[in-house]
Amino acid sequence: MANSAPASVWRNPIHFLAFGLGSGAAPKAPGTFGTLAAVPLFIWFLQDLTATAYFIVLVVTSLVGIYLCGKTSKDMGVHDHAGIVWDEFVGFWITMWLAPAGWFYIVLGFVLFRLFDILKPWPISWVDKNVHGGFGIMLDDVLAGIMSFIVLQALVTFVF
């Protein structure tokens, strides 16, 4: 999908954050680039947190994301513009909560999250079509993150 990022992404700090620090301005596959941009933030700031601290970060970034995504979407006059990828950041971070350290698990979490986010199995597809505003933009990716988290934890527990 071709992406046309507005100039406001580079001038408005709310839009810049909603566009995943600019990663959502990628001309193709902004969701994938947004998820990719979430990886170094996970490595540098999240993976060494306690489970409780990490969970608090997830709650805060989800709540902040409702505002960021909703405001940016409203300002642009487009519901869930492809470049709004803060929700991908949070969805990936949910996937990686409690994951073992190492690149194998980061790549596996990335692939699982992108699969759930792109394929949108029920109830993600229902939320994507029926829940609007910043809450809806965030919720489908939060659900994709939760489903990816469950699969990743099952693989860690029973396969790896």
Q: What is the pTM of this model?
A: 0.96
CA 151 to chain centre: 17
Rounded to the nearest 10°, the torsion over CA 23, 134, 15, 21 is -30
Cα separation, 95 vs 12, in Å, equals: 29
Whether 143 maps to a domain, the answer reads yes
Whether 68 maps to a domain, the answer reads yes
pLDDT over threshold 70, residue 1:
no
Whether 3 maps to a domain, the answer reads no
pLDDT over threshold 70, residue 15:
yes
Whether 2 maps to a domain, the answer reads no
Whether 92 maps to a domain, the answer reads yes
Whether 160 maps to a domain, the answer reads no
Cα separation, 125 vs 86, in Å, equals: 19
Whether 26 maps to a domain, the answer reads yes
Q: Which domain holds residue 32?
A: 8-155
Cα separation, 155 vs 160, in Å, equals: 6
pLDDT over threshold 90, residue 6:
no
pLDDT over threshold 80, residue 4:
no
Instruction: Encode pLDDT of 27-45 as tens digits.
Output: 999 999 999 999 999 999 9
pLDDT over threshold 70, residue 2:
no
Whether 18 maps to a domain, the answer reads yes
Q: Rounded to the nearest 5°, which phi and psi values hold at 27?
A: -65, -25
Number of domains in the chain: 1
Cis preceding linkage at 123, omega within 30 = yes
Cα separation, 97 vs 99, in Å, equals: 6
Pick from 159, 141, 148: nearest CA to 69: 141
160 against 55, higher pLDDT: 55
Instruction: Encode pLDDT of 56-88 as tens digits.
Output: 999 999 999 999 999 999 999 998 899 999 999
